Amino acid sequence: MKRMLLTISYDGTAYHGWQVQPNGITVQQTLQDALEKLLGERVSVTGCSRTDAGVHAREFACHIDCNDCFPESAFLKGLNSLLPNDISVIDCCEKTTDFHARYNSKGKRYIYSMYYGVPNPFDSRYKLHLEKKPNIVLMNDFCKGIIGTHDFAPFSSSKRTVEDTVRTVYDCCVKSNGNYIDFEITGNGFLYNMVRIIAGTALSVGYGRLSPDCYLNIFKSGNRSECGETLPSHALFLDKVYY
């Protein structure tokens, strides 16, 4: 028995998130089905985190325990041949048996992508279309304020299932290139809808609906209603998992 770390990339459009659910097809279930065909046994797949329905991943990490004796290159080729085109295993490697995809993670980086100007059907599939350009300077002023260790409960959905809502954000910024805008955030962990709510609050700041220092009152009051909207899931990418 050996433990394998798989790094996968997926388009989450057709899936109800990562984790297996009774009411819809998920990335985890699809990966488990392919592994069962390859290995001849049902193996458990443990992910580094959960992603919501419609969220994508450029580098998502998960681990499995299996009796596979294939070389890693053959394992990778065989597994990808059994997966749909919107999921790809881009790397695999053997780890020690005490490695855990979730608990050994040092942090994750998410990117929320936006653009403004004339709507483009191809851009709009993976980016949020904005009617006009927000103020990037103001958005970055807000982003600087949430860096650090805080109770991020107001920046999360009431549907969260964890009691500990303190998280550390290592970096947060907004970058623009032409009419494309990326909100980037890196932290040790994220609550349910946390990235989409912080990005929505930054966007409200950029449009002058909230002040750049609104985070002060939000952290103090713990009131979700003082934040911006929860942005749609289709423009969110898990970009990197750090170990």
Query: Are the CB atoms for 110 and 90 separated by under 8 Å?
Result: no
Query: Are the CB atoms for 228 and 209 separated by under 8 Å?
Result: yes
Burial level of 216, CB count in 10 A (0-12/13-18/19+)? exposed
Q: How many CA atoms lie within 13 A of 218 on its CB side?
A: 25
Ramachandran angles phi, psi of 140, nearest 5°: -70, -30
CA distances for 82 relative to 33, 34, 87, angstroms: 9, 5, 10
**Known catalytic residue at 52:** yes
Q: Which of 11, 33, 52, 123 is catalytic?
A: 52
Q: Catalytic amino acids?
A: 52
